[in-house]
Amino acid sequence: MTSTPDVSESAQDEQDQQPDPIDEPTAIILYGGTGDLAKRMVLPAIYELYTRGLLPKQFRLIGNGRGDVSHENFQQHIHDVLTEFADAPDEEQYAEFAKNVKFAGGGFREDNPGSLLDVIKEAEDELGTDVALIHYMAIPPQAFEATTKAVKAHDLAKNAKAVYEKPYGESLQSFHELDDLVHSVFEEEQVYRIDHFLGKEATQNLYLTRFANRLFGDVWCRDSIAQVQIDVPETLDVSDRADFYDATGAMLDMLVTHLFQVAAEVALEPPISMADEDVQNARESVIAAFRPLSPDEVVLGQYRSYTDIEGVPDDSQTETFVAARLWVDTDRWQGVPFLLRTGKMLATSAQRVSLILKPADGPLKHVPANANAIVFDLKGNGAIDVQLTVKKPGPDAVPAASATSLMLQNVAEGAMAPYTSLIHDVLSGNRMLFTSSAGLQSAFEAFQPMLTDARPKIELYDDGSWGPQAAEDLTNGVGWLIEHKVSPSIG
């Protein structure tokens, strides 16, 4: 007879699964230490690792920037950041953390390292000469080149890792130029190209749920699935980062990064094992099978008030919305469209992956094409919605739309925020949730047609709407699932 683990056994299992802290003395150099990305994402993540006991036992956090900021002022800055963007820290615990926080001002360039070398030398004197360095590039992409060259010029690549934020290149050519430079400084194994969507617990559920549950795994192919929708609408505008956004746009900010990676998580073939390199290889093998986007199957839009934002040119042709039909040329997915959509100032905010099933064989006719679906909610702890057609109560066999939601809070205890999880992976050397050079090259190859003269023209859409109407046409009459309520009926 099979026994059911009791609560104490489950608690022990959870304790056994907790990662061990890293023993190697480590200095995290946070370039752009007082910038927007650092304060919203990176600094709260590093402090969360500290409170969980998952930072190295001996560490230094060294902020770097052009300003002349004292160690004490940077420590207070982090305290203010945590109060605003995370939970207010325990004062006694934070005081211990702050003892490990330094700031190196004066910037960091080939010809002038500012005070960074002195602060690193101080850390080495205190922690030992074999301090591992993590170069975290929380800086605008246009600064990647100069900072990488400075790391090389000042001989800081040995026993080091480098974390690069997106976009890592803006085209196939600029990707190669940046990657060649990076590889002249670091080995590929030292480089971590971060994409926080891959760090989301709910995104990782896409393949774990599939591989562990036959209920889902057996329908995960072209025989059962009519189309896949990856839908990330946002109600936010871009006024707080207009300079970055107008130079980047929705395609580079979201499509070739987050949405391509999520599509690969859905479409990958079962890896040999769940070891980090096997999962990464499986994900990137399927990215190599992405068919280059056809401009005829891409819709670009811009919300009407975008050019009213300070710093945005009146004639800006930057897209704030993109919807695309992507094809994955593998046996499993031949003929199944992957529909990707994201945009700013839309009707709602959501992060959803919907597997829309083909109609069932049988006597029921005219059941709507979107009546049966498996929907993964990627926000927060995540949820899995199963959208069904069932019998409507009453004397006649009349079908009705129904759905059930499998909330995942019961397994959410101990979950880490995406940046927290990814930075821990950098510390421990786990590369499963990071994109390799080869994988990103494949993504840019699929994206390249959008950088030609064939790129679609921008269509204006009203603030708070669902974007250009042309995006609806990409669904072949199914409609974007988040917008349409299903009312099945017998024909």
Active site residues: 258
38 in a labelled binding site: yes
Give the residue among 347, 346, 408, 402 at the shortest CA–CA distance from 377. Answer: 408
234 in a labelled binding site: yes
344 in a labelled binding site: yes
Are the beta carbons of 131 and 121 closer than 8 angstroms?
no
154 in a labelled binding site: no
57 in a labelled binding site: no
CA distance 243 to 248: 9
196 in a labelled binding site: yes
214 in a labelled binding site: no
Give the residue among 385, 351, 349 at the shortest CA–CA distance from 370. Answer: 385
121 in a labelled binding site: no
148 in a labelled binding site: no
66 in a labelled binding site: yes
362 in a labelled binding site: no
Give the residue among 241, 240, 242 at the shortest CA–CA distance from 307. Answer: 242
460 in a labelled binding site: no
36 in a labelled binding site: yes
37 in a labelled binding site: yes
Q: How many other β-carbons are positioned within 10 Å of the β-carbon of residue 444?
A: 21
Give the residue among 444, 418, 435 at the shortest CA–CA distance from 255. Answer: 444
35 in a labelled binding site: yes
Q: What residues are designated binding site for NADP(+)? A: 32-39, 66, 166
Q: What residues are designated binding site? A: 32-39, 66, 166, 196, 200, 234, 253, 344
Q: What residues are designated binding site for substrate? A: 196, 200, 234, 253, 344
